[in-house]
Copies of this chain bind each other. A is one copy, B any other.
Amino acid sequence: MKDTATIKKMIEELKGLKTKDMYLNDFFHTWKESDDEIAATFAVAEILRSMREQNISSKVFDSGLGISIFRDNSTRTRFSFASACNMLGLEVQDLDEKTSQIAHGETVRETANMVSFMADVIGIRDDMYIGKGHTYMKEVAEAVQEGYEDGVLEQRPTLVNLQCDIDHPTQSMADMLHVINHFGGVENLKGKKVAMTWAYSPSYGKPLSVPQGIIGLFTRFGMDVVLAHPEGYNVMAEVEEVAKDNAAKSGGSYKRVNSMAEAFKDADIVYPKSWAPFAVMEERTQMVSDGKFDELKDLEKRCLLNNAKFKDWECTEELMATTKAGKALYMHCLPADITGVSCKEGEVEASVFERYRIPLYKEASFKPYIIAAMIFLAKFSDPAAKLAELVEADTKRIK
């Protein structure tokens, strides 16, 4: 637990980072943010967490709403968003939209404005359909920008991407903050080997945004990032380009292999997780658009059959033993498909999962702070000054 002096020092360091482009802006993809902006997000998240540990209130809104739009079910992300909003003083209001409805044009524009009269932030999760989620978020962001400029809205709500078809920034940022803490600082990450690998799961159609988010972010820290998956389970090519560029700039590397064993060999970090091939996700989106629901069922059946060929893509004790000193940090966005626990055959052996259970919970525990940091940086032009003010005021969260 960090004392107040340490918190003040962290705030001092934050002052050196350029964050003015985050002010009144949205958070879509980590690779649209500068290194300073990424660092500032981590810094604010850590400061907010330390403040809470010290019972210092971080309530910067006296009133205001955080709107959540979830286009599929989600307990974890929903609670993370609610927690972040609550910590800052915003009340959450959920907008329920049928997942089958992919709204366009006037409906999106109108709804975005109608729910935003008192909204300071809008969090959206829309990860199911390739080519749709990010597009929808952009439409909402443009609609509220227009509404603000036209005097419909008194404030311009910030949009936070809680998972789209392309990136899952609140997840990858929470994951990375966990890594930074685990390895004792961002300066210790250079040269570390990361294995982001596919793993078998008895379900189908898991989104691509987690692996994409990881390779799109982790490559910025000079690490050697390996993406491993069975042939055909490719992620979006444009995100791989991002990963390659990042690696080149950061002095790390990025490569793709078709072997789990190769990826795990001497890895410092392993992230084995199921996803659906990009090509399948595209096909699926087209079928949904066309209302071809019988063909959708066939697609699912075919996919599950194909997945079943790769049941040996499991994070076993044996594989873990091949990692750096047999002690790689095992990561997962949760919930995991645990062999013999949540399913017959899954992504990870039960004993591996159990050994990393507490670290996994800690990994997840950074998410509310990451979301709060994104909101904070979008709402205050001088975030360090505002945080210093809060620490100075020292209002107690529990009186």
Task: Report which A residues bind B (CB closer than 8 A).
Answer: 49, 52-53, 57-65, 75-76, 79-80, 82-83, 86-87, 89, 91-93, 95, 105-107, 109-111, 113-115, 117-118, 120, 147, 150-154, 334-335, 338, 341-342, 353, 357-358, 361-362, 364-365, 367-368, 379, 386, 389, 395-399
Contact = CB atoms under 8 A, between A and B. Distances in A.
A63 B63 CA distance: 12
A57 B398 CA distance: 14
A368 B65 CA distance: 13
Nearest to A153: B365
B154 A49 contact: yes
Contacts of A153: 365
* Count of identical protomers in the assembly: 3
B60 A152 contact: no
Contact of A87 (B63, B151, B358, B362): B63
B398 A64 contact: yes
A65 B53 contact: no
A62 B63 contact: no
Nearest to A112: B361
A91 B86 contact: yes
A321 to B, nearest CB: 23
B62 A397 contact: yes
Q: Which 10 A-B pairs have the closest CB atoms?
A: A83-B118, A152-B361, A57-B62, A150-B358, A79-B115, A60-B399, A117-B368, A83-B117, A113-B361, A76-B114
Nearest to A50: B154
Nearest to A78: B93
B62 A59 contact: yes
- Counting chain B CB atoms within 10 Å of each CB, the highest count among A57, A62, A109, A367 belongs to A62
Contact of A75 (B76, B114, B357): B114
11 contacts: A52-B154, A61-B398, A62-B395, A65-B83, A65-B86, A83-B117, A113-B364, A113-B365, A117-B365, A151-B362, A152-B358
A118 to B, nearest CB: 4
Contact of A79 (B57, B106, B117): B117
Nearest to A82: B93
Given A91-B91, A398-B379, A335 B83 contact: no
Contacts of A335: 107, 110
A68 B166 CA distance: 33
Contacts of A61: 397-399
A87 B152 contact: no
A342 B107 contact: yes
B364 A114 contact: yes
Given A52-B154, A395-B62, A396-B62, A79 B342 contact: no
Contacts of A82: 65, 91, 93, 118
A350 to B, nearest CB: 9
